[in-house]
Amino acid sequence: MNRIFSNQKGGTLLCYVPDDKAAPGIGAICALLKIKYREVGSEVLDERIGALVSGKPQSAEAHRAAEAVPDEVRSREHAEPFVLFCGFSGATLDAFLAQTRKQKLRLPLKAALTETNAGWTLRELYDAIRAEHETMTGEVL
């Protein structure tokens, strides 16, 4: 699984989809809003975010340690979709989120690309966002 399409209007959405699941309408929203969409599976969990977004490998020096994630979170499978907003304007992000609400799509794991997390692996970012979500909501994913 490594699906990509683009019209390059409003940034790139990197979407991790577990191998046994389908992305719940996310690609259609991206097509509607002319957002570049890249869907990836578990085969890239240990790749650096910056390399996944740019398509270029990153050096080991570019890696920054992810925040401490509890072992019980880190050891669980990565069973929920996760979206990463890359280069979205505020208006594009608002439009995307409005469409997810309109279509009643539930995406509890989402983040924006930052200079810091670009050096993390997808697994590290997923685990950190999952731990943050669980701390804030009490919902175990």
- Alpha carbon distances (Å) from 101 to 75, 87, 104, 105: 31, 21, 5, 6
Specify the pLDDT at position 46.
86
CA 6 – CA 27 distance, rounded (Å): 10
pLDDT tens sequence across 22-47: 877 999 999 999 999 999 998 888 88
What's the total number of domains in the chain?
1
pLDDT tens sequence across 76-128: 788 999 999 999 999 999 999 999 999 999 999 999 999 999 999 999 999 99
Specify the pLDDT at position 74.
60
Question: Where in the sequence is the domain holding 43, given as residue range(s)?
Answer: 2-137
pLDDT band at 58 (very low <50, low <70, confident <90, very high): low
CA 125 – CA 114 distance, rounded (Å): 11
